[in-house]
Structure 1
């Protein structure tokens, strides 16, 4: 297999833009807007070049390249720390309990509370795989490469990590949750708000969103039924996150109501299980693995084989550009 994960470059703009147009909306981190995507690439280039060795407002943008053809067939993103550039908003699902002595009854009402609880966490997101490449486990390579990147640059990431899953979007590209909640306060459709957020950030939410709790029982059934529910195309991603140790802890996206998954960074399976060794030769036999090498802009990750003595297969060595003595990180496939 000739696919490798690498740091994105300014020249990848057109390929990423073409993939962004295929998402179907709701991908805040991958808007089909060239200006916004160019800004992301410039921000990522600065982040890869940064000498900071602590969590900061950095964006690391990776792409999946087919070295045999030069085509970019996927992308994913890692954020060093959310909530620095502007507050990171979520709805937290809570309960308001009230008791009536006269009725001798206690009532429990589910409420949505605007929250900044996740400020300071790192984030993995923006994962998209081109439809032509959805085979051979490439989605898994994209997803787990992010954790090997974090493992190789651990000081740049927080103690908590989150992943937002896209919520339910109807056939017209609208959001039942948005229509039932926030849309009433913003005077714009879900697609308009999602695009505005992707390009300009979410300060407008702080300006216009009411700060008082929203009682779920007062929402239309169309909105209630999708709270914390991932888009059908995101169910596999949710299972992968759960396999890594992420959990749904009652935080949802304020736009589409999709679930926000969280984990302790050092407890994510692919971070905790990453092994860091020096290459000890080339051998085409060994354990199936994801192998990463290089730092920051030189980061690479691919599928390969790792032998008991620290050997790796020739194809992986070529894709990663490593030789005897070079450090690699790997996890079992």
Structure 2
């Protein structure tokens, strides 16, 4: 069965809504709200339609499509420049060292400081794969297709890139981090705050969040223990990001405490190793497994394929060529499958 990544269209709204209902909360970029999802699609259409290459605050929504049935089975998003419409807040975990000569003791205290350090970076996010498709590397296809899209439209993206991973959520859908910190100031539970943020933006954080550093020693043991930890379902995603060159540099989400991973855009493995080649032939004689992409903006498509290097181009597998709608003399961008 063959799958491809393509630009989302208005016809995908129902599919996105059905997937959003399966996320289980804490998934800000894919809220189970039709109005919010339609707004995302509208914003994505505008981004795909723009032709100049200046970096603006834009969103691209991509979907995973079963080529045979046309069903949408996953989605992912790319933000070109965060923090322009609304402040992009993170907590930065730092250490304050203080010494007392009289006592002859040194104290080191961990602190969470509200920051907009990551403002202006690009972001990869909103990745969700239908539970029925979590095999065959489709999550990897969704994740890495975003990097090929960035490589093929590099001028539209910033020099720094981030990815926020969902933090620890309990069985009741609550967040130990939220309950131990922000929830005390907002008078609302995590689910309500998460939904409000997904549909209305971050401004209420700026209005109500305490601006002074928070000593982690003042939090409950449970809240403190989940700082910078991904949700169990996100551990594989964290390893995938690390394989691409992302690192956790003590930034975490202000809602659930999940880790924010960062990298230099041109150092991301799939972007750095992506190559543009001409297809000199299409056959069934095998080759190395790769991600293969083609098309500009809304015509972007990406799939798995077999690629054989040749002196003046590549030979591409029949299935990949069919999924992408390409043939001999067309150009594609490809990178080896990890």
Where do 1:47-58 residues align within 5 Å?
47-58=47-58
Once the 2 structures are TM-superposed, how far is the Cα of residue 104 of structure 1 from its aligned partner?
Answer: 1.0
**Partner SS for 2:145:** helix
- Cα deviation digits, residues 19-74 of structure 1 (max 9, x gap): 00000000000000011001001100111001231321110100000011111000
RMSD: 0.7
- Cα deviation digits, residues 226-245 of structure 1 (max 9, x gap): 00010000000000000000
Moved over 6 A (4+): none
**Partner SS for 2:248:** strand
Q: 2:328 aligns to what?
A: 324
**Partner SS for 2:188:** coil
Q: 1:42 aligns to what?
A: 42
Once the 2 structures are TM-superposed, how far is the Cα of residue 160 of structure 1 from its aligned partner?
Answer: 0.5
**Partner SS for 2:280:** coil
Q: 1:120 aligns to what?
A: 120
When the two structures are aligned, how many residues end up with a matched partner? 333
Q: 2:72 aligns to what?
A: 72
Measure, in 2, the Cα distance between the counterparts of 1:287 and 1:189: 50
Once the 2 structures are TM-superposed, how far is the Cα of residue 317 of structure 1 from its aligned partner?
Answer: 1.0
Where do 1:164-243 residues align within 5 Å?
164-243=164-243
Once the 2 structures are TM-superposed, how far is the Cα of residue 18 of structure 1 from its aligned partner?
Answer: 0.3
**Partner SS for 1:26:** coil
Measure, in 1, the Cα distance between the counterparts of 2:81 and 2:200: 18
Q: 1:133 aligns to what?
A: 133
Q: Say if 2:162 is the partner of 1:144.
A: no
TM-score between the two structures when normalised by the length of structure 1: 0.99
Measure, in 2, the Cα distance between the counterparts of 1:9 and 1:18: 15
Once the 2 structures are TM-superposed, how far is the Cα of residue 287 of structure 1 from its aligned partner?
Answer: 1.1
Measure, in 2, the Cα distance between the counterparts of 1:172 and 1:10: 33
Measure, in 1, the Cα distance between the counterparts of 2:128 and 2:327: 31
Measure, in 1, the Cα distance between the counterparts of 2:319 and 2:288: 14
Once the 2 structures are TM-superposed, how far is the Cα of residue 6 of structure 1 from its aligned partner?
Answer: 0.3
**Partner SS for 1:281:** strand
Q: 1:248 aligns to what?
A: 248
TM-score between the two structures when normalised by the length of structure 2: 0.97
Measure, in 2, the Cα distance between the counterparts of 1:321 and 1:69: 16
**Partner SS for 2:282:** coil
Measure, in 2, the Cα distance between the counterparts of 1:2 and 1:100: 66
Paired residue for 2:319, among 301, 315, 319? 315
CA contact (8 A) 1:283 1:307 kept: no
Once the 2 structures are TM-superposed, how far is the Cα of residue 283 of structure 1 from its aligned partner?
Answer: 2.1
- Cα deviation digits, residues 260-314 of structure 1 (max 9, x gap): 0000000000000001111111122211111000011000000001111211111
